[in-house]
Structure 1
């Protein structure tokens, strides 16, 4: 296949590029800082020469968007919003000008679109979507993505949970704090963690590409979310770390200022189930967090 990954130089993009390249696909990356032959310059908001690479492609994957791992200042909030909306909008313009359009367009979204939920398991069908900064960002993002219907282009929004891998994302930081004895529960510890192993993330993307019946919003997460306290306990056990200091909310509030982050990233209960993936026959290699830790630690 010919696959285009917009903003593909981060953790998820690098792993997808490796995964599909090893399977014989041609992968091209749209990036602000092209350094290799398969990388093409784009600024994620202006229609330019890069649009030509979309011609005769099979798949477009858009991962563009400023990281939410920052303080929610007014400036950062505007950038988080605009980076998602503008990139989605300009890719739509580029596709509209294609003679031979991509067959499928996967656009990033987030499992954060669902409300803080400790008991209700959110599927695509019955998920409860709320109203705060993070959820409204996701809603606006998906609205922009689905607002234009493009003939013969199948659109899928990837509501991705926390992706566990050793070469980026949150997991290396979690391992580090656990190693230093700080791997106890965060806050009350009863907030659920929805997660997926990086290999299963890549396999999920491939499964969606190959399954023409999958359209619209889809939860990209392993089928077994678990409470933060249990998650951290299992990680300590796998890393053979005998204890982990708990971090009450007031400590996290102070730490988040120094780390230039937000406590929501740790304290929101994401209780999400991949109903569409399960019903369409995807078998997870790492369906339980124990299997994921065994592989990654």
Structure 2
């Protein structure tokens, strides 16, 4: 087990309607935390900075997860939405925190702002930790850089800021649905070369890491939220097949991924880029993963196919 950390008494979650946010709400509520939300509906909505400031007053932590899904084609319209939904909301939260203090309120002492492990370069040679990782290039990296810069530039003295560089999050649903569907359809082989690294974190470990970070004053700046048990894409697909009891799967070449991405309106980069984020800061802070290996995570997430043993034939 990891170093124990107490859940905050009150937490504000911005962008709470997604896969991660809805899970965090449930887990915090189960732990007795007062959960307040910021989103497109409710008492605190984007664009009403005064309402955001009131919601933040007296909370122990702010967690911002707002951002349009990147599972789409990067057209000018979707690219603008991906960028603005991250940078603009982060900037508004900075203004709300400043307004909370200006009104005589008590803003949360720690601000955990979502970022992404995709900020690092395509890496197959070595892991990318917070202190020695190389930042990459391209649209996704540009968004991540601007996202983190908006957090750093926010005028919030006295508020500890943490950029959560989150790897692919595994849980019931999300990315596991298409991966298991492909495997069951016989297409569960490697994608592209299969050598690209797959950094991931189990949804429950993500929650526990967030709690630890919020309670640990020495953790600030970028923090990688990724399990240490990184695998290649080929190993990922083999593990999914093994968990489902499927012996083999056809590989998907890169050109077909590009073509398929055009048809289903997503980007092949999501599976072809090699992401190798290493959680050095978490490990140094004493965090122990409940799901450090992919096998342990898949065993909890994907129920194996159950094959009944043949019934014995009775002699007459």
* TM-score over 0.5 (shorter chain): yes
Partners of 2:98 and 2:155 within 8 A in 1: no
- 2:82 is equivalent to residue 74 of structure 1: no
d(CA) in 2 for partners of 1:159, 1:172: 23
Q: Which position in structure 1 is the counterpart of 2:54?
A: 52
Contact map agreement 2:112 2:161 (CA 8 A) in 1: yes
Counterpart for residue 37 of structure 1 = none
CA contact (8 A) 2:95 2:155 kept: no
The yes-or-no answer on 1:132 pairing with 2:167 is no
- Output aligned runs, 1:243-254, within 5 Å: 243-254=248-259
Counterpart-to-counterpart distance in 2, 1:63 and 1:169: 16
The residue correspondences of 1:75-224 to structure 2 (distance < 5 A) are 75-98=77-100, 99-166=105-172, 168-224=173-229
CA distance in 2, matches of 1:93, 1:24: 29
Offset of residue 33 of structure 1: 3.5
Per-residue CA shift, 1:17-38, capped at 9, x if unaligned? 111111100111212144xxxx
C-alpha contact 1:6 1:64 (8 A) present in aligned 2: yes
In structure 2, distance between residues paired with 1:102 and 1:172:
36
* 1:5 alignment counterpart: 13
Whether the 8 Å CA contact 1:123–1:272 is kept in 2: the answer is: yes
State the partner residue of 1:22. 30
Q: Which residue, 42, 45, 68 being the options, matches 1:42?
A: 45
SS at match of 2:258: helix
Query: Number of aligned pairs?
Result: 290
CA RMSD of aligned residues (A): 1.1
| Bigger CA radius of gyration | 2
CA deviation string 1:111-167 (max 9, x = no partner): 00000011121000100002211111100110110113522211100000000000x
- Give how far 1:208 is off: 0.3
Displacement of 1:46: 4.7
Q: Equivalents in 1 of 2:94, 2:31: separation in Å?
A: 28
Structure 2 Cα separation of the partners of residues 269 and 136 of structure 1? 17
Mark the runs of 5 or more structure 1 residues left unpaired by the alignment. Answer: 35-39
Does the CA contact (< 8 Å) of 1:46 and 1:90 recur in 2? Answer: no
2:296 alignment counterpart: 291
Secondary structure, counterpart of 1:276 in structure 2:
helix
TM-score (norm 1): 0.95
3-state secondary structure, aligned to 1:90? helix
CA distance in 1, matches of 2:223, 2:181: 31
CA drift at 1:56: 0.7
Is residue 113–residue 151 contact of structure 2 (8 Å, CA) maintained in 1?
yes
